[in-house]
Structure 1
Amino acid sequence: MSAASLPGVRLWTGRVLEDLRAGRSCLCLLPRTPAGGADAAAVLDELLHELGDFVLLPAPGPADAAAPRGAGLPGPPAAAAPPPGGPWTDTAPVLDYDDGLSAFGVGPRGGGPVPSDAASAAGRDTPAAHGPAGGGEPGPSAAGRAPERGRPTAHDLADRVLKELGAAAPGADSGPAAGVDGLLHRLTDGSGAASRVVVVRGWHEPVPAAAAELLRRLAAAVKAAGLPPERRPRLLVLAGPSGLAAELPEQVARDDVAVHWWWGVHGRLDTATVVAMARPPAAGRAARHQLLEAVAQATVVEVCGPFLDLAERLAAEWDGSPDTLPPQLRRLLCDEGLLPGVPDPDDAARTVPAPRGPAPGAALPAPAGALREHWDRGLADRWDGRLRHWPGAAARRDPRTQETGAPVWDWEWEHGVRTRIWLAQNTALLPLLDEAREAFTEVIRSRSRLPLPDLAARYGPRRDGVPGPRPGTAAAPGSAAALAGMELGDMWRAHIQGDARLSQPEADRLRTLWRSRNSLSHREALDSPRLEGLADHLTR
């Protein structure tokens, strides 16, 4: 089962498509190493399949076939190294309105060469606007700005979009025929070009910031043109946060631009699906195996959370015994080199509360600033409404051996894993234990050596410490309704004190149910022998 077909991924892509169909442009931010192991190319394929009509940049070519399919974002082209001018050169902020300064040939910010006065005044109307016919230094770009030592800009990206749209070659006529201005004119002139979504794969772009600048200018042009949603041009940019300014997502988020973070995409259902597909075939008595398998799957889901690659491996290799889970998990993390550096206990990333779940149809929230580096590296994500860190992030180094994950030093990490085991056992076993408790009340009624009213008064549910029928029950104390709320511990006490005569198998069953329920109530996970014994009693 591909990661792109998981329920959480389908919901995320559905939100993006919903915004695009509503006439909004979208900026999608994906981590370099996604926690769920999702392939960025597979997610893009899912979006393109639903879009139908689109313009893809960079255009598909031999590099796409040669690129390996794997988790995370591919690296940018080798030529993408930023020049000495800095990564944000030629990406000046764009206002929501036309300030008129583009007509004066404003030069680039960041120390690039400034066009000459003649070239600036001539703009696109002179041949120099597109460089000399042969040799020499290049002139200003099509938008009236000088290229910075060969560094691609938003105008180069706009020219490539125009080429894919089938527009005239840059500089073929006077007027805004090329560059950002030419693209904005083409997309907002009512010619029908706006019906196609322009999709930019930021991980293949030499300068991802150029796509962000184009997105900002397009939003301003759409607002100035006053186009209705069904006629608005739409730009879909998929990129990683490392190539963009940190404040950019908050700056571009507005009514006509939606920002979608790959944050909190996977939930419990996604992890449970991956675990169920990875578990080995069933063996042994069907009912008993189904119960133990349900507990094992719930345990892997709870321990691994949004880290689907780890969940898949643990589900395939773990034998299902609670006692072997911590060492098995440690081996997996060490074998793959997946024990990252330990964050400082005082690090803000460990104290940020989990955000509340979004309303249906709303965009997922973004990771907090202190978490974004961990999120980008695949070490943190939001899962099931909670902030979850990579399971190996808490492993410490033994101060004597300097080995990560040494058992004599790692007891805090193991305690955290066993807490997850307890949570999973609670989820899988408590409903079954309550059903068994309710069924055993009939055995106690039939084996009672006391009149039922006396049995209910002595061992029945208590309210404010006073014996009596279950609150809200109007029946007589000796009725089945009054005894239905008797707890397992009270039943065991009635047997020990001789007020209920049980056979040895019945007593063994009651003791197992009571001890298991008592352990789970006190946050203690069942070890392997107790879990297997409980499964035997629950499935008889």
Structure 2
Amino acid sequence: MNTVGSGAVAPAAPESPGSGPAAAGPGRHLMDEDLARLPGPRRHLDMLEADLRAGRSCVWYFPDPVVESGRADFFVRELTHRLEAVIPVPGVVSLADRRAGPASLPAQRAPVAGPHEPWADTGHGQDTVLSDDPYSSLLSRLAAPSGSVRPGLAPATAAPTATLEERLAKELGVTGDPVETLVGQSSAGQAPPVIVVRCWDEASPEEAARLLRVAQATFHEAGLPGHARTRFLLTARATDLPRATLGSQGRAAVHWWWKVWTRLDTEVLMAWRSRSAVTDAADTLLRRVTDAVVAEVCGPDIDRALALRATWDGGALGTLRHALSQVLPEPGAGSTEPVPPRRLSTAHASAPDAEIHDAWARGAVDSWDGRIHPAHGHSLLDADSQELRVLVCHAQNRVLLPLIEEARTALIHLVPGMLHKQRFTLRDFREKARSQHWRGTEEAAVPDLEELELGGLSYAAHMLALTTTQRHRLRTLHTARNTLSHRTPLDHDELVSLAEVLTTDWTAD
């Protein structure tokens, strides 16, 4: 089957070389810079920026895989680049230690040359510590994981880790209470900064939550108005902060990496990374259908969507299942757990419900297109399951039904001129083409032309002067409409035939 694209008209790709999706071909790795340009993440960052600029502190929760991949670090940087007077507090846990849990011993990070930037990275959030970093000497004295001694270092001795307040005080250049210092600066008329704490780089889950509570209480007691208060941005996984912090923290706004990705994000990515251009209208439509199937199947897993699109050119359901098995990751420990509830109320909520909170935290589910969607659809590989068939049908319906409706409307406009007027009147045709639900009811009103359905038009087709090609076109539309209405996906041959019909005018012959 022909490959599927995004349609005849696609969003323009960024023109600056190397700066966006246009610079990365279909086989290239998805760059984080691509994601920052998408509608979903941009809207999510806009909400956080609005809260911070309004004087509210924010707690920002990410699923574990988003943090472990480094994308959370990237989006934190994207947000802070929008703000002024940002003070990031260096953490004490490296990216390599995040999987071990928040209480693991910090690992030493190799010093590099270059200007100091606490969040400078060479990959997806892989932190580097600089030779003049004020915490490098402390980290160099800590033992490596599993008790080994890192090459080139003297045997480590137990050394206390600098607390979060001590590290914040060092960033502020003071030796006393950093919160009191911030109050004094605000009272003196200085612009309040944004203090950023990446809780996944903290060794103690309680420190960040306690700092936020103490700071907000101190600001309140000092009588500082909201616009004069220092704002805190705490970024965390669900396990990085005490459960009590998952709720509201006074004036703090709680944001979740939930319901961020949308169908539009996937479609825009695929449009930016379009395949080779085609001029055939039917082939273009087939590409649209295949892209819609990819988006429906992969949902919020945008990396998998691009991989599946590069692997699957369209075709039978079996070929889709085989391509999906090639791009899905190996089933993890949680892949055998029961599928969480998929209530619409949960999908539209602003945060993952308690029933699916753990599944969200491990990156198994997300809210996408108004429903709870598994991030990795291993269940779709079950040949006995109808789930994949349903998703394919949804995608085909989304693309094809509006076009079938347009073709029905176009035919209706031609009916008056196609009637065998010597034998039938327009009223005769309308009465003959009534829906089967109306037939047999003598008192039923004769429907207007616009109300006639494809089934009725086919039933009364003998009253029209149709060519053989036009009759085939009408039968194809009627069959496809019925098939899709019964939640049955069209097979390859039916799709090819329907694409030809939908891209040909009724009067073309």
User: Does the pair score TM above 0.5?
Assistant: yes
TM-score range, shorter chain: 0.7 to 0.9
Structure 2: unaligned runs, 5 residues or longer:
1-20, 22-33, 92-114, 128-138, 146-157, 505-509
Task: Return the alpha-carbon distance in structure 2 between the equivalents of residues 343 and 266 of structure 1.
Answer: 25
AA matched with 2:303: D
SS of match in other structure, 1:198? strand
Residue number in structure 2 paired with 1:157 = 164
- Alignment of 1:337 with 2:330, yes or no, is yes
SS of match in other structure, 2:377? helix
Normalising by structure 1, report the TM-score.
Answer: 0.70
AA matched with 1:355: T
CA 1:36/1:282 → structure 2, altered by over 3 Å: closer, same or farther?
A: farther
Task: Return the alpha-carbon distance in structure 1 between the equivalents of residues 200 and 444 of structure 2.
Answer: 63
Deviation of 1:159 after TM superposition, in Å, equals 2.4
Residue number in structure 2 paired with 1:274 = 269
C-alpha RMSD of matched pairs (Å): 3.2
Residue number in structure 2 paired with 1:125 = none
- Alignment of 1:534 with 2:505, yes or no, is no
- Alignment of 1:300 with 2:294, yes or no, is yes
- Alignment of 1:419 with 2:390, yes or no, is yes
CA 1:322/1:188 → structure 2, altered by over 3 Å: closer, same or farther?
A: farther
Residue number in structure 2 paired with 1:9 = 41
AA matched with 1:5: R
1:493 counterpart (430, 437, 459)? 459
Task: Return the alpha-carbon distance in structure 1 between the equivalents of residues 55 and 443 of structure 2.
Answer: 62
Residue number in structure 2 paired with 1:384 = 369
Normalising by structure 2, report the TM-score.
Answer: 0.74
C-alpha contact (below 8 Å) 1:80/1:207 kept by paired residues: no
Mapping of residues 67-86 of structure 1, within 5 Å: 68-69=123-124
- Of 506-515 and 454-463, more deviation after overlay is shown by 454-463
Residue number in structure 2 paired with 1:431 = 402
SS of match in other structure, 1:226? coil
2:50 counterpart (11, 18, 22)? 18
Structure 1: unaligned runs, 5 residues or longer:
83-148, 171-177, 359-364, 396-404, 472-476
AA matched with 2:89: L
SS of match in other structure, 2:488? coil
CA deviations on 1:321-374 (whole Å, 9 max, x unpaired) are 3533222112222xx4256644444x6x2355543646xxxxxx2212332222
C-alpha contact (below 8 Å) 1:419/1:523 kept by paired residues: yes
- Of 240-249 and 263-272, more deviation after overlay is shown by 240-249
Deviation of 1:527 after TM superposition, in Å, equals 0.9
1:452 counterpart (401, 426, 434)? 426
SS of match in other structure, 1:388? strand
Residue number in structure 2 paired with 1:43 = 75
- Alignment of 1:253 with 2:217, yes or no, is no
CA deviations on 1:178-201 (whole Å, 9 max, x unpaired) are 2xxx12211112134561111112
CA 1:159/1:391 → structure 2, altered by over 3 Å: closer, same or farther?
A: closer
Task: Return the alpha-carbon distance in structure 2 between the equivalents of residues 35 and 317 of structure 1.
Answer: 27
CA 1:519/1:194 → structure 2, altered by over 3 Å: closer, same or farther?
A: same
Mapping of residues 123-138 of structure 1, within 5 Å: none
C-alpha contact (below 8 Å) 2:70/2:124 kept by paired residues: no
C-alpha contact (below 8 Å) 1:222/1:232 kept by paired residues: yes
Task: Return the alpha-carbon distance in structure 2 between the equivalents of residues 19 and 470 of structure 1.
Answer: 59
Deviation of 1:491 after TM superposition, in Å, equals 1.6
CA 1:441/1:353 → structure 2, altered by over 3 Å: closer, same or farther?
A: closer
Residue number in structure 1 paired with 2:89 = 57
Mapping of residues 57-456 of structure 1, within 5 Å: 57-58=89-90, 61=116, 64-65=119-120, 68-69=123-124, 152=161, 156-167=163-174, 170=175, 178=176, 182-189=177-184, 190-192=187-189, 195-250=192-247, 252-254=248-250, 256-283=251-278, 285-323=279-317, 324-333=319-328, 336-338=329-331, 341-345=334-338, 349-350=340-341, 353-355=344-346, 357=348, 365-394=350-379, 405=381, 410-412=383-385, 415-445=386-416, 446-448=418-420, 449-456=423-430
AA matched with 1:337: E
Deviation of 1:486 after TM superposition, in Å, equals 1.6
C-alpha contact (below 8 Å) 1:37/1:308 kept by paired residues: no
Deviation of 1:281 after TM superposition, in Å, equals 1.8
CA 1:277/1:36 → structure 2, altered by over 3 Å: closer, same or farther?
A: farther
Identical columns (%): 34
CA 1:150/1:465 → structure 2, altered by over 3 Å: closer, same or farther?
A: farther
Task: Return the alpha-carbon distance in structure 2 between the equivalents of residues 30 and 298 of structure 1.
Answer: 27
Task: Return the alpha-carbon distance in structure 2 between the equivalents of residues 343 and 71 of structure 1.
Answer: 31
C-alpha contact (below 8 Å) 1:35/1:308 kept by paired residues: no
CA 1:470/1:326 → structure 2, altered by over 3 Å: closer, same or farther?
A: farther
C-alpha contact (below 8 Å) 1:278/1:313 kept by paired residues: no
CA deviations on 1:250-284 (whole Å, 9 max, x unpaired) are 1x433x1111111111111112112223342233x
AA matched with 1:380: V
SS of match in other structure, 1:253? coil
CA 1:391/1:47 → structure 2, altered by over 3 Å: closer, same or farther?
A: closer
- Alignment of 1:520 with 2:505, yes or no, is no
SS of match in other structure, 2:243? coil
Deviation of 1:26 after TM superposition, in Å, equals 0.9
C-alpha contact (below 8 Å) 2:300/2:373 kept by paired residues: yes
Larger Cα Rg: Structure 1 or Structure 2?
A: 1
CA 1:470/1:233 → structure 2, altered by over 3 Å: closer, same or farther?
A: farther
AA matched with 2:346: P
Deviation of 1:57 after TM superposition, in Å, equals 1.2
Deviation of 1:319 after TM superposition, in Å, equals 0.4
AA matched with 1:438: T
